[in-house]
Chains A and B, each alone.
Chain A
Amino acid sequence: MMATTTPSGSGANSTHGAARKLPALPSTTLTKWLREMHLIREFEVRCMQSYQEKKIGGFCHVYIGQEAVAVGCTAAVNLEDPIITAYRDHGHALARGMSSRACMAEMYGKVGGCAKGKGGSMHMFDRPHNLYGGHGIVGAQTPLGAGIAFATKYEDEVMNAGRNRRVTLCFLGDGAVNQGSVYEAMNLAGLFDIPVIFIVENNGYSMGTEISRGTTMSHELTIKGRAHGLKEATIDGMDVLAVYHDMHELANWCRENSRPAFVDMKCYRYKGHSMSDPRKYRTREEEERHELNDAIGKFERTLLDHAVVTDASIKEIMNSTREEVRDALKFSNESPEPDMSELYTDVFVEPWGRFTGSSLPEFMGGAANACRFHATNGKEGLV
């Protein structure tokens, strides 16, 4: 079993600025992260507006404040490493490469959305980018995340008779830590050497419940992973460089050793839980204190100090993200509503099963005894 790791990144109180070393990465990569963080923030701000204008319905949870987590974690792994998360999922989708258009149009309930408007804000799926949802039920994605990692490992080791190549990032909230399924998932992952990282986006609250009111040992959350033999890390989620650095190291370790890990990712959500949350459970001072520690601002200063960006290039980034989101909104407005027939598609791959066009098994009389059927999707074949 693995020993406890001390994350090499800084703790929650790390120092930032000029003294901070940049990772040995091309400056274009660093600028890309900055742009992604700006994009998510701009996207979410406009998403809130659209919700107010009633263009978005249902439940909608924005990611403002936590941008460094999705961006840093995604950057730390490869595109072939799967990602699965909860309902606060727009940031992960964008960081993973889903287009702003597809993400916004999904919330507008339009055909241009990633699921043709059938999934909504809480259920973002993007198979080509290895994003496996967006899950609305708290904790639901954790066993699924273990299963996704089980599958990649199985494919690599059993089907391809090679070494495990991939690691799955499974995000969950601090509130989700109290779902029983999370413990079952961790035990299974520990037991079966599953390369999955359970990343607890610990923003301190589940709805109006401050973590210590709902969770035992909240001051030492990693103990929950340790109990199941998971490698553990505590990471400052308000610092994209720390997130990248620590997650990169951890992901590589999990991949190489084919083992699970548990991350207490310390962060803060600036806005309400969802669109209808007056945030009476915390003070504005507390929020302001956290906003002073804003991940985007900090990263910008670091990049300025290292002359990776200039004021002008930052302005350019902001203009381009604003333009991208404006385009996404326009696209979403103009994208048509799904056709009524979409209500009935995607329920089954094939309502009548796999026997389409094939013969009956011998004991049922064989092909001569087959009868025609008409599937609801208009297909026909032989049973």
Chain B
Amino acid sequence: MSRSNSAVLSNPLFREPTLMGGVTHEIEFRDAVRDAMSEEMRRDKRVFLLGEEVAQYDGAYKVSKGMLAEFGERRIIDTPISESGFAGMAIGAAAMGLRPIVEFMSWSFSLVAADPILNNAPKMLYMSGGQLGCPIVFRGNDGAGGQLGSTHSWAVEGLFSNVPGVKIVIPSCAADAKGLLKTAIRDDDPVFFMESERLLSIKGHVPEGEYLIPFGHALVRRVGTQCTLCSWGRPVNFCLEAAEILAKEGIDCEVIDLRTIRPLDLPTVVASVRKTSCAVVVDQSWSFASPGAELASQIHRHCFDDLDNFVHRVHSDDVPTPYSSKLEQEYLPNVRKICEAVRSATYRA
């Protein structure tokens, strides 16, 4: 279970943005994603971007803005609305050694490409007995919150984290998005990188200069003593908000941002739960057979004697995503639900 953070951080490639000190600049989450792609494309000609509206339209969410102008149409490629086709095509190219970045306008649309992304990409290395792998990044908007209704609001990590052979990265802020995406692009395995459209316009401080963030390396976003909140992606921000409210009630929460759920940084979580004796897992996917369920199970296994209560979980409600704003806000793993779970887990309810 032990793993030294400093060993990872001493690798000159991998630098933790919060520990870097020095000069930062403030950019939007979408700029961080773009900077990561552009920097990697400058250093490696094998990297190219393809997807719907990524080139001439500058991306449906303007993530790839300006990239066509810099890299040209051979490397920034507009595709038709053929997810199964272009995802499969990119996987073939990756098996040949190129390093495609496939943008799904929304991860909800990746379901049309379920076969290539789940049946080909993560199994190529295994089925070929290690002969050929699949260094590819799939990225796009994931999760509910924008009133897009049932078909467009998937948190696909709930489905895809079940599949061996994929790495799943879900950043919660601009600095992480940049560092993690650069790592993803250099990774030799398929990486599913999930952005929240709700976060794209949120600004954050990003270090000057090059840095990468290792996978499986959680970050303690808030230090606390009474309850460990574990989350990833957008809900980390809900957890931080909830922690402020709970602090006023005298409940001191530690907030851990897992950043990647495959690989999953258990040591950091376990160390925290051993300290607080209490854990709440916050996951925007549905509860049944979810990454949150997996993490809760792992905490129970490793912290059985340390826990004062069972691990509480907060998820999106177990229903298709509603359109109505009122219903959707209630559906999400919102601040109110997190506060209630923490109060219950700490016997303050």
Interface residues on A, range: 35 or more
Residue of A with least CB distance to B111: A137
Residues 53-86 of chain B, each 1 if its beta carbon lies under 8 Å from chain A, else 0? 1001100100000000000000000111111110
Which of B81, B152, B326, B330 lies in contact with A136, CB distance below 8 A?
Answer: B152
The reply to whether A338 and B319 contact each other, CB–CB distance below 8 Å, is no
Contacts of B147 in A (CB 8 A): 57-58, 109, 120
A176 vs chain B, min Cβ distance (A)? 7
CB proximity to B under 8 Å, residues A313-344: 337-338, 340, 342-344
Contacts of B5 in A (CB 8 A): none
Given A208-B53, A208-B56: A337 and B78 interface contact (C-beta under 8 Å): no
Which of B56, B82, B325, B331 lies in contact with A281, CB distance below 8 A?
Answer: B56
In this complex, the member of A123, A136, A337 whose beta carbon has the largest number of chain B beta carbons within 10 angstroms is A136
The reply to whether B146 and A57 contact each other, CB–CB distance below 8 Å, is yes
Q: Give residues in B with beta carbon < 8 Å to A.
A: 52-53, 56-57, 60, 78-85, 108-109, 111-112, 146-152, 317-320, 322-327, 330-331
Which of A109, A115, A206, A344 lies in contact with B325, CB distance below 8 A?
Answer: A109
The reply to whether A117 and B149 contact each other, CB–CB distance below 8 Å, is no
Say whether chain A's binding surface is mostly helix, strand, loop, or mixed: loop
CB proximity to B under 8 Å, residues A160-195: 175-176, 178-181
Contacts of B52 in A (CB 8 A): 207, 209
The reply to whether A118 and B324 contact each other, CB–CB distance below 8 Å, is yes
Given A123-B149, A343-B330, A344-B319: A180 and B324 interface contact (C-beta under 8 Å): no
The reply to whether A180 and B81 contact each other, CB–CB distance below 8 Å, is no
Question: Residue A135 at the B interface, CB < 8 A?
Answer: yes
B154 vs chain A, min Cβ distance (A)? 10
Contacts of A180 in B (CB 8 A): 82, 84-85, 112
A57 vs chain B, min Cβ distance (A)? 4
| A–B Cβ pairs within 8 angstroms, 25 of them | A57-B146, A57-B323, A58-B148, A58-B149, A59-B152, A110-B324, A118-B150, A121-B149, A122-B148, A122-B151, A123-B150, A137-B111, A138-B109, A179-B112, A180-B85, A206-B80, A207-B52, A208-B56, A208-B57, A213-B78, A338-B322, A340-B326, A342-B327, A343-B330, A347-B318
How distant is the Cα of A117 from the Cα of B322 in the complex, in angstroms? 8
A323 vs chain B, min Cβ distance (A)? 27
The reply to whether A176 and B81 contact each other, CB–CB distance below 8 Å, is yes
Contacts of B78 in A (CB 8 A): 209, 213-214
Question: Residue A11 at the B interface, CB < 8 A?
Answer: no
Contacts of B83 in A (CB 8 A): 179
Question: Residue A204 at the B interface, CB < 8 A?
Answer: no
The reply to whether A178 and B326 contact each other, CB–CB distance below 8 Å, is no
Which of B148, B150, B331 lies in contact with A343, CB distance below 8 A?
Answer: B331
B87 vs chain A, min Cβ distance (A)? 11
Which of A123, A135, A213, A340 lies in contact with B330, CB distance below 8 A?
Answer: A340
The reply to whether A118 and B151 contact each other, CB–CB distance below 8 Å, is no
CB proximity to B under 8 Å, residues A112-156: 115, 117-123, 135-140
Given A139-B112, A207-B52: A338 and B327 interface contact (C-beta under 8 Å): yes
The reply to whether B323 and A117 contact each other, CB–CB distance below 8 Å, is yes
The reply to whether B82 and A109 contact each other, CB–CB distance below 8 Å, is no
The reply to whether B81 and A214 contact each other, CB–CB distance below 8 Å, is yes
How distant is the Cα of A135 from the Cα of B109 in the complex, in angstroms? 13
Contacts of B327 in A (CB 8 A): 109, 117-118, 338, 340, 342-343
How distant is the Cα of A209 from the Cα of B149 in the complex, in angstroms? 24
Residue of A with least CB distance to B113: A180
Question: Residue A31 at the B interface, CB < 8 A?
Answer: no
The reply to whether B324 and A178 contact each other, CB–CB distance below 8 Å, is no
In this complex, the member of B148, B317, B330 whose beta carbon has the largest number of chain A beta carbons within 10 angstroms is B148
Apart from A179-B81, A343-B319, list 17 A-B contacts with CB within 8 A.
A58-B147, A59-B152, A117-B322, A118-B323, A120-B323, A120-B324, A137-B108, A137-B109, A137-B112, A138-B81, A175-B80, A178-B80, A180-B82, A281-B56, A338-B322, A347-B319, A347-B320
CB proximity to B under 8 Å, residues A193-239: 206-209, 213-215
Contacts of A135 in B (CB 8 A): 151
Contacts of A209 in B (CB 8 A): 52-53, 56-57, 78, 80
Say whether chain B's binding surface is mostly helix, strand, loop, or mixed: loop
Contacts of B317 in A (CB 8 A): 343-344
B16 vs chain A, min Cβ distance (A)? 36
How distant is the Cα of A139 from the Cα of B151 in the complex, in angstroms? 13
Given A58-B323, A181-B112, A343-B317: A207 and B150 interface contact (C-beta under 8 Å): no
Residue of B with least CB distance to A54: B325
How distant is the Cα of A176 from the Cα of B109 in the complex, in angstroms? 13
Contacts of B53 in A (CB 8 A): 207-209
How distant is the Cα of A347 from the Cα of B288 in the complex, in angstroms? 15
B337 vs chain A, min Cβ distance (A)? 13
Given A340-B327, A342-B327, A343-B331: A136 and B85 interface contact (C-beta under 8 Å): no
How distant is the Cα of A380 from the Cα of B331 in the complex, in angstroms? 26
Contacts of B330 in A (CB 8 A): 340, 343
How distant is the Cα of A246 from the Cα of B276 in the complex, in angstroms? 73
How distant is the Cα of A337 from the Cα of B322 in the complex, in angstroms? 12
B67 vs chain A, min Cβ distance (A)? 15
The reply to whether A175 and B149 contact each other, CB–CB distance below 8 Å, is no
How distant is the Cα of A318 from the Cα of B322 in the complex, in angstroms? 35
B243 vs chain A, min Cβ distance (A)? 26
A190 vs chain B, min Cβ distance (A)? 21
Which of B81, B148, B152, B326 lies in contact with A139, CB distance below 8 A?
Answer: B81
Contacts of A208 in B (CB 8 A): 53, 56-57
The reply to whether A58 and B146 contact each other, CB–CB distance below 8 Å, is yes
Shortest 7 CB-CB distances between A and B: which pairs?
Answer: A120-B323, A109-B324, A57-B147, A58-B147, A178-B80, A208-B57, A136-B151
Contacts of B323 in A (CB 8 A): 57-58, 106, 109, 115, 117-121, 123
Contacts of B331 in A (CB 8 A): 343
The reply to whether A175 and B81 contact each other, CB–CB distance below 8 Å, is yes
The reply to whether B150 and A206 contact each other, CB–CB distance below 8 Å, is no
B291 vs chain A, min Cβ distance (A)? 22
How distant is the Cα of A214 from the Cα of B82 in the complex, in angstroms? 10
How distant is the Cα of A347 from the Cα of B150 in the complex, in angstroms? 12
Contacts of A344 in B (CB 8 A): 317, 319
How distant is the Cα of A215 from the Cα of B78 in the complex, in angstroms? 12
Contacts of B146 in A (CB 8 A): 57-58
Residues 52-66 of chain A, each 1 if its beta carbon lies under 8 Å from chain B, else 0? 000001110000000
